[in-house]
Amino acid sequence: MPRIHFHQQLAALKDKLLAMAALAHQVLEYSVTAYVKGDMSLCAHVLEIEAAINAAEREVDEMAYELLSREQPMAIDLRFILSVIKINGDLERIGDQSVNIAQRARTLDKLPRVSLPVDIVRMGEHAGKMTQLAIQALVEGDAAIADQVLAMDDEMDLMNREVQDVMVELMQEKPETTDYALNAIIIARNLERSGDHATNIAEDVIFWVRGSDVRHKFALADAD
Amino acid sequence: MPRIHFHQQLAALKDKLLAMAALAHQVLEYSVTAYVKGDMSLCAHVLEIEAAINAAEREVDEMAYELLSREQPMAIDLRFILSVIKINGDLERIGDQSVNIAQRARTLDKLPRVSLPVDIVRMGEHAGKMTQLAIQALVEGDAAIADQVLAMDDEMDLMNREVQDVMVELMQEKPETTDYALNAIIIARNLERSGDHATNIAEDVIFWVRGSDVRHKFALADAD
């Protein structure tokens, strides 16, 4: 197969992955907005987009399989294709987290609203920013941008812990808020996990671009 | 490169993955035992084994990369290698979940013990069984065993919901148990996610063996 056809196939694979990444970023935003604004119509959109992400994961895997079986990609092209296989899994998981957040938003919508002394909106924005930067790193093949995502992960972890501590205090003082506070804790955890998946994507971009494996070099002593 | 050398490399890759899988099963068991028996010495073992799993993930990826760059694996061998790249990620995540469980066990160890009307031990056994069956499906290339793992996922989900419902009631009635109950909820969620990763492994085995993509065919309407 002529090399130009190979590079067209490679470009098609990259485009498909980027389209999937855009959906993942969008669905995360929708799910947080559904919670913040109590907009239940967005929950239906979340489910639709997540289904599209799942279908895209299968298509990307099949395209990667075809490319690998027909060509003999070497070096950086091979690393790129292997990164794609890893990255599409993390994008799919961001879709899953968004569905989880939307389901929590639905549950909360049925409960008496409780004013929470925590900033889940800020966590949502942080997770969205991490996802957007990870996608940008992927588009531009830029490991320095990927590094920025890794650096944002600690902040996400701190915010998650704060939400949990404050919510536990609230539940102890006002047991009638337990159901509501627990769902808020779960949303915060889902956002923290979305940040983790953005971090994984950034690490895979670094593997592709620098050819070096940075995974697990960051201490996970207090993960989750 | 002579084909016999290729098959030796392929066998080495499989062995490495299976060793990693055995570690994942072991570390999950240790973390649940640490919680059940309040055995904090096991927590240190959990961290050591998880570090070994993380190192193995990198090695498996490098071996897969080498195989793909030197050979031109076709059909079932190629599907196997792509499955390996997916599966090692899920094994690594089972390691992460086990660390999370061990950390929760440590936190609980410092709190006044609360007798919980839920069976987290049974959840731990279920997650361990799913992991063990997924590994067996991988060892034997047996899609029927993989199907069994998929069927066990619903039960895991039901048990997780039950723990959450019962714990919320407990926290509402006895707010002094909030901290303890919340950690128990988190352990249950970590076990449920471990079951999800075992399910993902089973789906990847089915992809390898049957050449068909079963992922996302099961409704995730009430996931998490």
pLDDT tens-digit profile of A14-45? 999 999 999 999 999 999 999 999 999 999 99
Question: Any idea which of A214-218, A219-223, B84-88, B209-213 has the lowest mean pLDDT?
Answer: A219-223
CA distance B211 to B224: 28
Q: Which of B68, B82, B224 sits opposite A78 (nearest CB)?
A: B68
B65-105 confidence digits (pLDDT tens): 999 988 888 778 898 999 999 999 999 999 999 999 999 99
Q: Does A205 score more than 60 pLDDT?
A: yes
Is B112 touching A (CB cutoff 8 A)? no
CA distance B32 to B120: 9
DSSP state of A40: T
Cα nearest neighbour of B53 on chain A:
A216
Total count of domains within chain B: 1
A/B interface, count of CB pairs below 8 Å:
113
CA distance B220 to B212: 19
Distances (CA, A) of B132 to B24, B138, B194, B207: 9, 10, 12, 19
* Inter-residue contact B98 to A115 (CB < 8 Å): no
Number of DSSP helices (H) and strands (E) in chain A, helices first: 6, 0
- List the domain range (segments joined by +) for residue A128: 2-223
- Provide the shortest C-alpha distance from residue A115 to chain B (in Å): 18
Decide if B99 and A220 are in contact by the 8 Å CB cutoff.
yes
Half-sphere exposure of A28 (CA within 13 A, CB side): 33
| Predicted pLDDT of residue B222 | 39
Is B99 touching A (CB cutoff 8 A)? yes
Q: Which amino acid is at B141?
A: G
Decide if B168 and A179 are in contact by the 8 Å CB cutoff.
yes
Question: Any idea which of A9-13, A22-26, A51-55, A218-222 has the lowest mean pLDDT?
Answer: A218-222
Q: Find where tokens 């690998």 sit.
A: A68
A131-146 confidence digits (pLDDT tens): 999 999 998 999 999 9
Mean pLDDT across the stretch B47-59? 95
| Predicted pLDDT of residue A212 | 61
CATH number at residue A46: 1.20.58.220
Task: Identify from A54, A68, A160 which residue to disrupt to test chain B contact, counting B C-beta atoms within 10 A and taking the largest count.
Answer: A68
Mean pLDDT across the stretch B199-222? 72
User: Residue A215: which residues within 8 A CB-CB, separation 6 or more?
Assistant: A200, A203, A207, B54, B57, B58
Is B173 touching A (CB cutoff 8 A)? yes
